[in-house]
Amino acid sequence: MYYYRTIIAHQIFMGQTTPALYIPMWVPYSAVPLGMFLVGLRAFQAFLETAAAIRASAGNPEVM
């Protein structure tokens, strides 16, 4: 993440844009760290859901 921070800061400082759409280059470069953050957030959410399901089933064990 440190390297992406420096790359994005450099792109903002330089003011470079894409050739076709003139979008600032920091916008596509920030897609990777944003995606990594969202994946981490979703993994944490899934962990909480799994922990809640385990706690709920601990009080009511299944009979096989």
pLDDT attached to residue 5: 87
Q: What percent of the chain has pLDDT above 90?
A: 64
Domain range annotation of the chain: 2-57
**pLDDT tens digits, one per residue of 25-56:** 999 999 999 999 999 999 999 999 999 998 88
pTM listed for this prediction? 0.71
| Among the listed residues 10, 28, 9, the one whose alpha carbon sits nearest the alpha carbon of residue 18 | 28
Burial of 34-64, coded b for 16+ CB within 10 Å and e otherwise, reads eeeeeeeeeeeeeeeeeeeeeeeeeeeeeee
